[in-house]
Amino acid sequence: MLRRFALTARIFTKTSFPSIPSSLGARSLHAALWRQYTNLPHSKELPEQKSGTEDARRNGTTTPTIDSEKRRKVLELEIEVMRQEGRKVPSVATIKPDQWEHLLGLSSRNQRRQYYLYLWNIEMVRLGQKLKKERKQEEIAKRREELVKATAENDHIVYGLFHNTMFLRIYDSKVDHFHNNRYGVTPRSVLVQAMQFGVNLVIDCSYDDYMNDKEMRNTAKQLMLCFALNRSHAEPFNIHHCNANFGKTTMKQLEKHLVQIHQPEFPFNITDRSYTELFPKERLVYLTPHCKNDLTEFNPDDVYIIGAMVDKSSQEPVSLGKAKKLGLRMARLPLDRYFQFKSGKSLTIDQMVSIMLELKSSNDFEKALQHVPRRKITTVDEATVREQEIREAAKFKFNFNSKRPGDKRNSKQSSYQTGKGRH
């Protein structure tokens, strides 16, 4: 271990670190190197990387990958020093390449510490699941041995758990295959039939630049929920995922969980093309909460667009600006007509898909808006209690600016101010 640290420290002898006394021990040397690195300016590049980048820009060449390797070695050293200090950091061997890429892009120590804690929590959860699985396997093996001993002298066929059975085991892959190829009234898959003759719905996946890594991962989860909700519905949409950027985290996570996404027989429409290239502008309607036009009824001839964006960090009207720039019609759900909200009116992508599925089936807003989470809505009882509190608070309000009829001091002060204003 010390030899590895010494080799790691030798790599940075060519960098512009101040000289370190040779009398320091190995632990002090590692701590000093880590402290010098963390005291650098909080930028994504080291000083020598910046100079190399400027030279590369002047000469028209690309920056060598050795700089990222150096930074990775520094981060490995930082993780080891933090582990020796007793902090919660993950093992270097458990960090995946995409996580290393995210770590190299972080610009401050606090961001790295938070991400280390996040990776450590994931590692602890996996370790606990592994230990739980091993204990369960040991219990199953012990149970089987007891059953074998109990039935060793019995020559008859024994049915039951860990014995013979007349039922077949249904695997998760079979269940997925059933849902993807579920048949309706006609001898044709419901999803395939929707892709050929169903009502179109667009999910705009062009908001990766407005989200951080955590929000993009959350967006990918919501897109998977949308696919599951749509395929389990009796009359699903023909959903088009447009403006997909396969180099960003959202599509990488979606490809990770839906491996067969690019297979031609898989009922999933995804493309990097814009929806303005697939449908005429006259039919497109962008659903955004920032516009003033309420959606009064569902029109099956229109193509509704839902923005695939998780805006926890920023609530800017990006979708409104995009719809105005493209010259598209806009609409919002009439939430204020049916509910009184406690907090924000933002809904997730899967909640929007559920509402649109119900609108397509019944065209009833009261029934469709039942998919709005109850935690965001103020009920009738809560509204009544709130009104009573406001009335009680209004009784104790005092108007300090009002003049009492016999107050001569106020009248003198007002006349003095009036006279002063004339001069």
Known catalytic residues are: 311
Question: For 226-375, where are the E strands, in sequence order?
Answer: 238-242, 269-270, 284-287, 303-307, 329-331
Reading the block at residue 284, the tokens are: 């497109």
Label residue 132 exposed, middle or buried (CB < 10 Å: 0-12, 13-18, 19+): exposed
Cβ-based neighbour number of residue 142 at 10 Å:
10
- Do 386 and 378 contact (CB within 8 A), yes or no? yes
Residues with Cβ within 8 Å of 68's Cβ and at least 6 positions away in sequence, in order, are 104
Output the CA torsion 204→207→208→212 (10° steps). Answer: -130
| CA dist., res. 351 & res. 372, Å (int) | 7
- Do 46 and 69 contact (CB within 8 A), yes or no? no
- Do 213 and 98 contact (CB within 8 A), yes or no? no
Q: What is the DSSP string of 98-165?
A: HHHHHHHH--SHHHHHHHHHHHHHHHHHHHHHHHHHHHHHHHHHHHHHHHHHHTTT--S--BSTTSB-
Distance in Å from the first CA to the final CA of the chain: 86
Reading the block at residue 176, the tokens are: 């997925």
Reading the block at residue 259, the tokens are: 């491996």
